[in-house]
Amino acid sequence: MDKKIIFSGIQPTGYPQLGNYLGPMRNWVNLQDEYNCLYCVVDLHAITVRQAPAELRKNTRNLLSLLIACGLDPEKNILYVQSHYSGHAELSWILNCFTYMGELGRMTQYKEKSQKDEANINAGLFTYPVLQAADILLFGTHLVPVGEDQRQHLELSRDVAIRFNNIYGDVFTVPEIHIPKIGAKIMSLSHPERKMSKSDDENSCISLLDTPEAVMRKFKRAVTDSETEIRYDVENKPGISNLLEIYAITCGMTINEAAAEFAGKNYGQLKTAVGEAVVGNIIQPVQARYNEISANADYLDSIMKTNAEKAAKIGEKILKKVKKKVGFVV
């Protein structure tokens, strides 16, 4: 393939939220013509936390539908489900043997998740970044478009690739990290000092499947500050800065242009305008397309089957090379 390769994935645990869309997912759409792209519903990653089986199956299909509804063309991209290609798990085991306990123990997400659920500190949660490295390295990935919160995991993927290459020669492509300049970290509406997350309370997060009424209500309740001036100042005005960033991305303008548009206006006007922009430009068009796609089970099944086969065809070349290098009979 002449074009460089991109890989990224998203977990099927609940529905993607506005931060997912404005950060990685929107970035994926912008990259699909320039690169050979693999975008994966990472259901293997999802089970580090206990999942209801029927719910996981439903969420996996729904997420695939949403990815297409958000603009990812299944003819241009390889859109597939992680567990449909066993190469992910095979390479993950091999890379476990080239990753150090100390490296995994320093992972911020492991520390945070293990503190939240001390009764479920399982080995999968600890070695999650190794599976993520396998996801990426399996396809000779050049570029990984992700949010800022995944930078540490991507650095580990690079370290493991370099370590393996130093032992066995030029086997893995060392991936580069691609983080968008704006939208990389959309913040919570209720707690603007931290990232928006679908695991937060209802008013903090905008789901892509929220009703327009719910979206407007959440924006109107967004936490701001006791001042009256609308300006972009992340340190002193995180809530207002977050709203301005959301508005700028949604309307296709710079943050400075967004701030200028609201000069002299009040916080209520800003909140209403941001809500209306998100509803009109994102929520309604995405949901209309999603409803079409999710109703066509045969179409989804065909995409999953065909694209898993395409992914396997690419991944098997590198996996076979790795197996030979470490001494397996292949």
User: Cα–Cα distance between 304 and 78 in angstroms, integer?
Assistant: 9
pLDDT-derived band at 182 (thresholds 50, 70, 90) equals low
Query: Residue 95 is which amino acid?
Result: L
Share of residues in the chain with pLDDT > 90 (%):
76
Query: Which 8-state DSSP code applies to residue 82?
Result: G
Sheet containing 5-10: which strands, arranged edge to edge?
Answer: 78-81, 36-41, 5-10, 143-145, 176-178
What is the pTM assigned to this prediction? 0.87
Token couple for 102? 């100390």
Domains and CATH numbers, the chain: 5-184+297-326 (3.40.50.620), 202-291 (1.10.240.10)
Query: Residue 105 is which amino acid?
Result: G
**Given this model, what pLDDT does residue 180 score?**
62
**Given this model, what pLDDT does residue 147 score?**
64
Sign of the Cα torsion 53, 54, 56, 60 reads positive
More confident residue, 138 or 195: 138
The pLDDT of residue 183 is above 60: no
User: Cα–Cα distance between 216 and 214 in angstroms, integer?
Assistant: 6
CA separation, residue 313 to residues 129, 264, 270, 289, 320 (Å):
24, 57, 49, 30, 11
CB 157, CB 122: distance < 8 Å: no
The pLDDT of residue 277 is above 80: yes
Share of residues in the chain with pLDDT > 70 (%):
97
Q: Which helix (H) or strand (E) holds 125?
A: helix 123-137
Q: Which helix (H) or strand (E) holds 101?
A: helix 101-105
Please give the average per-residue pLDDT across 8-37, as a whole number: 88
pLDDT-derived band at 260 (thresholds 50, 70, 90) equals very high
Q: How far is CA 227 from the centre of its chain?
A: 34
The pLDDT of residue 181 is above 70: no
Please give the average per-residue pLDDT across 196-223, as a whole number: 92
Instruction: Quick: pLDDT tens for 108-161.
Output: 877 777 777 777 788 998 999 999 999 999 999 999 987 667 788 899 999 999
More confident residue, 125 or 94: 94
User: Cα–Cα distance between 173 and 315 in angstroms, integer?
Assistant: 13
**Given this model, what pLDDT does residue 150 score?**
78
Q: Which residues are catalytically annotated?
A: 113, 195, 198
User: Cα–Cα distance between 187 and 17 in angstroms, integer?
Assistant: 11
Find the angle CA(15)-CA(283)-CA(191) to the nearest 5 degrees.
Answer: 65
The pLDDT of residue 239 is above 90: yes
Question: What average pLDDT is seen over the chain?
Answer: 92
Give DSSP secondary structure letters for 136-177: HHTTT-SEEE--GGGHHHHHHHHHHHHHHHHHHSS-S--PEE
The pLDDT of residue 16 is above 80: yes
**Given this model, what pLDDT does residue 179 score?**
72
